[in-house]
A and B are shown apart, each in its own frame.
Chain A
Amino acid sequence: MKRIDHAEASSKFIKATDHLDFHDKRLWDLRKKRDRVSEALPEWEQLRVIASAIKEHTLTHLGDYLEEFERNAIANGAHVHWAKDAAEHNQIVFDILGARRAKTLVKAKSMLTDECEMRPFLEKRGIVVMETDLGERIQQLDDEPPSHIVVPAVHKLRTDVARVFADTIGTDRNNSDVHYLAESQRQHTRPYFLRADAGMTGANFAVAETGTVVVCTNEGNADLSVNLPPLYIASVGIEKVIPKIEHLGVFVRMLSRSALGSPITQLTSHFRKPRKGTEMHIVLVDNGRSDRLGMPDFWYSLKCIRCGACMNTCPVYRRSGGLSYGATYSGPIGVIIDPAFDLRKYGSLPFASTLNGSCTSVCPVKINIHEQIYKWRQVIAERRQLPFVKKEAMRAAGKVLSSPKLYRAAVETAGAGVEHLPRIMMYSRLNAWGRQREVPAAPPYTFRQWYLENRTKK
């Protein structure tokens, strides 16, 4: 597996300053919207504590809740399947489609299906898969993965979308009016809803008490995907289970406020039983989740409700774009989930962070994201996964910092260097810090020198 180098991958994104500026502003705008609505609720922090506690309770009793969910889903007339990994998930979906001779599938946004790389698997086997969420559709047509779990094409400007649509669904290349583009996708997709053999969604929440799959969307594409075709498949990560219907009150109040700054998504859909004469299948997926459940330092990451608030606030994510992370889950949550999938491939991600902790403070379920980022760094260093340059730099720094004499000598030399070195030497390739920053001017003396001069008895 090719190792992802986040810093390198993001350099291309950073060069495109129009895109970078827009991306940064757009996501920060979502952060501000989130702040406005959360501050308007006096009980916000209390809800975070409760949401976190519900998730933690559920995860520590996950086996029982999964069985309860399955029992009730089956009693409702749904079929329940279990997939231990991505490959098994994809095969199960393909087999369900095959049994019903289904050839066309309309699907709502599901990060789990992206994680399992389901679409290429099905397409190779002759299934036509139509992504119906506008952002996911743009990415599908552009043969790019989604860059954000809530707004998949946030890294694209309208001119990019105009180009993609012109090349694929025959729109006017020179018309980048957003209403025109959105209407074009609506009209192009609608016949697929009407004719599809099967529809698919993920799950925001799976209620154990009733066997209900809850899907939160704004576009209406989940409801169209499920309420038209005769076959419905829901892909559900095992960590999506919550105990009772009443708990939805907490999570529904928090999800869209955290994600987009609106009190609720336009559609909050509850799929419980198949319509008369149709079939409903639920695929419960592990794919590394039970492994993570057993990691004392990292199991809290399973509380995630996929709101994306951490991405919107993260200065690194905002200025590098989700695609730089090379994984379905990017931004802060991606940084703590992806190394559990593949430590070697994603070992650079925990270093794509300033550890500012903003992610932790906005997380509606109180995942201690920045603490887990730090813990992953330790794991990576211990497993000798640090890149050579970083390891040597850390080793050298450790020597200097642990010796007062060496430290003082280094500080004085650095100060002199900043003052006297020509720019071409200061900002050479070795100075990674200086690539986009001015090195600050060295102060005239160190604190220690000042202290010795002014505070010690003469």
Chain B
Amino acid sequence: MSTRDEILAKVRASEPPALALPDLPRFATKGGSTLDGFKAALVRMGGKVADAPADGDLDVVVRKLFPDARVVCSATAEVTGNRALGDVKAPADLADVDVGIVRAAFGVAETGSVWLTEDELGINALAFLSQHLVVLLDPNRIVGNMHDAYRDRDRFDAGYGVFMTGPSATADIEGVLIHGAQGIRSLTAVLVAPPRV
């Protein structure tokens, strides 16, 4: 008998009498616009919000936010950058990226989270090796709460996906809050719709 069969047999012999799966009610988010909720939640979690450029020039926005950045790598064609993601052979080659730019699939107002998968990231490590991340988010693609986010199962077919909420952080030493633990030091969301195709 393999360990697998042994464990399953033991589990089935030990299972207490069956209890039913509860229904999941719909929990509505508090009143107020999801956009305002998203911005407030993101800032509370240590993230930043930048205005969409009036002229639509996102390159300028990135340059203004990070004037000293040497390596800028964008996973979206909306920003040019100076490191082409397509040229990167190994994820570790992104180690010197100062600013990464991605467009999120959608956001969640309750928490200030953005959803990023391998489709949005190109190379997953971009969202973690970059010192700073700029996230473009369509203001019309913000759902109310995590229940709303998880209700659509198709969103979660990706091989890798992450809800990113602000910068990486830790308070492991005396409860002092640090932004920029192992991952990004800052996350700036720019609320702007993608260009019309």
Contact = CB atoms under 8 A, between A and B. Distances in A.
Contacts, number: 249
B11 A62 contact: yes
Interface string A181-204: 111001001100111000000000
A209 B165 CA distance: 25
Given A221-B181, A249-B149, A178 B162 contact: no
Interface stretch (B51-59, B67-75, B124-132): B124-132
Interface stretch (B98-106, B134-142, B168-176, B189-197): B168-176
Interface string A267-293: 111111111000000001010001101
Interface string B21-41: 110110100000000000001
Contacts of B113: 264, 268
Contacts of B157: 210, 272
B95 A190 contact: yes
B147 interface: yes
A219 B181 contact: yes
Nearest to A284: B7
Bin the interface of chain B by size.
Answer: 35 or more
A223 B127 contact: yes
Contacts of A62: 11, 15
B170 to A, nearest CB: 5
A238 B7 contact: yes
A411 interface: no
A59 B183 contact: no
A268 B108 CA distance: 13
A245 B153 contact: yes
Interface in B109-130: 110-113, 118, 124-125, 127-129
B81 interface: no
B146 A252 contact: yes
Bin the interface of chain A by size.
Answer: 35 or more
A226 B162 CA distance: 12
Given A224-B128, A293-B14, A194 B24 contact: no
28 contacts: A43-B27, A57-B22, A60-B16, A63-B15, A67-B8, A83-B3, A84-B3, A133-B172, A151-B175, A153-B172, A154-B172, A178-B176, A182-B178, A186-B181, A189-B182, A190-B95, A190-B182, A212-B156, A223-B127, A223-B162, A245-B156, A263-B45, A267-B163, A267-B165, A267-B168, A275-B159, A284-B7, A294-B14
A427 interface: no
A64 B19 CA distance: 14
A84 B7 contact: yes
B3 A88 contact: yes
B110 to A, nearest CB: 6
Contact of A246 (B16, B17, B153, B164): B153
A236 interface: no
A249 B150 contact: yes
B13 interface: yes
A60 B13 CA distance: 11
A220 interface: yes
- Most chain B beta-carbon neighbours within 10 Å: one of A66, A195, A250, A290: A290
A76 interface: yes
Contact of B15 (A82, A138, A156, A293): A293
A104 to B, nearest CB: 13
B170 A249 contact: no
A138 B172 contact: yes
Contact of A263 (B20, B110, B183): B110
Given A266-B167, A266-B169, A291-B10, 13 more contacts: A29-B175, A53-B20, A57-B22, A66-B8, A82-B7, A219-B169, A238-B11, A249-B151, A253-B146, A272-B158, A275-B118, A291-B14, A294-B13
